[in-house]
């Protein structure tokens, strides 16, 4: 088991990506703390993990509220004695953010993902890192998307927010590396299994005058070298490897899981 006896906290654990990673972490032996702003979104995956013999706890945490994040981490540390892995998979609704030219986008809609994502990732990372540095080990994980690197139209403030998150990861890795804490990011392309990507592709299809999200998806698949888009399971598998000791020589980098839509 890659994560045996590890303790992990996942923010946004009720979403498609968060829940996929939670399942993968638990399967590999980690005790997982599922957090979200609504416990009902966590119940399904929590019940699934515990029913199969996995170790899990679910807690209500607003991942942009510094006090709630710090209080939860304090509780976790008092109970477990450590935190090994933190993964932030929060998201914001995409309607009103994507599918509109920047010239026409309300400034508050542009700012929403930038403020939310950067603030949340800083707050959750440093809450965990303060304990990680005392024991000389730990992994801070995040996930972004290909517009952080390539030019893409009609993505609003999302590209800026993802680019800022990647920059934040590099700064954190520089500051925490000397303490044995590793900071890593996954850059993924859209996953058609998720409701978010169905919505996003629908918004882009509308912007380009296409009849549905399926037509836009076909275009996106054709732009990859593998002629398909990544699957949730593939993202979860990469996250599990990065969180494990098997990737112990890696930090300060973004791992490309785009099926070749971006080539580094």
Asked if residue 196 is part of any domain, the answer here is no
Residue 182 structure tokens: 């590793």
Asked if residue 220 is part of any domain, the answer here is no
> In angstroms, rounded to a whole number, what is the distance separating the alpha carbons of residues 4 and 217?
38
**Domain limits for position 136:** 7-190+231-257
For residue 126, the model assigns a pLDDT of 97
Asked if residue 195 is part of any domain, the answer here is no
Asked if residue 217 is part of any domain, the answer here is no
Asked if residue 198 is part of any domain, the answer here is no
The confidence band for 76, taking pLDDT boundaries of 50, 70 and 90, is very high
Mean model confidence pLDDT for the chain: 96
Asked if residue 1 is part of any domain, the answer here is no
| Assessment of whether the complete model's pTM goes beyond 0.75 | yes
Number of structural domains in the chain:
1
User: 45-77 in b/e burial notation, b at 16+ Cβ within 10 A?
Assistant: bbeebeeeebebbbbebbbbeeebbeebbeebb
Strands, DSSP E only, in the chain? 7-11, 31-36, 56-60, 85-88, 138-145, 181-188, 253-257
CATH number of the domain that 107 lies in? 3.40.50.720
Asked if residue 54 is part of any domain, the answer here is yes
Asked if residue 152 is part of any domain, the answer here is yes
CB atoms within 10 A of CB 115: 16
Span 173-181, average pLDDT: 98
For residue 64, report the phi and psi dihedrals to the nearest 5 degrees: -120, 10
């Amino acid at each position: 088991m890659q994560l045996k006896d590890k303790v992990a906290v996942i923010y946004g654990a009720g979403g498609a990506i968060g829940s996929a990673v939670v399942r993968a972490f638990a399967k590999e032996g980690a005790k997982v703390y599922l957090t979200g702003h609504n416990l009902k979104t966590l119940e399904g995956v929590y019940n699934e993990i515990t029913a199969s013999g996995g170790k899990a706890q679910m807690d209500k945490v607003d991942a942009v509220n510094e006090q709630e994040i710090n209080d939860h981490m304090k509780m976790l540390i008092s109970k477990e004695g450590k935190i090994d892995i933190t993964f932030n998979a929060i998201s914001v609704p995409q309607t009103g953010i994507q599918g509109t030219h920047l010239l026409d986008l309300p400034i508050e809609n542009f700012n929403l993902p930038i403020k939310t994502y950067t603030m949340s990732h800083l707050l959750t990372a440093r809450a965990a890192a303060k304990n990680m540095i005392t024991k000389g080990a730990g992994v801070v994980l995040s996930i972004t998307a290909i517009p952080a690197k390539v030019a893409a139209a009609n993505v609003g403030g999302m590209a800026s927010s993802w680019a800022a998150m990647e920059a934040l990861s590099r700064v954190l890795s520089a500051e925490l590396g000397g303490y044995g804490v590793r900071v890593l990011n996954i850059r993924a392309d859209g996953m058609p299994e998720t409701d978010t990507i169905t919505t996003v592709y629908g918004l882009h299809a509308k912007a380009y005058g296409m009849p549905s999200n399926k037509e836009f998806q076909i275009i996106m698949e054709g732009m990859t070298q593998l002629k398909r888009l990544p699957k949730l399971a593939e993202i979860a598998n990469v996250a599990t490897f990065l969180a494990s000791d098997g990737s112990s020589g890696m930090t300060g980098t973004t791992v490309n899981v785009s099926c070749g839509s971006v080539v580094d």
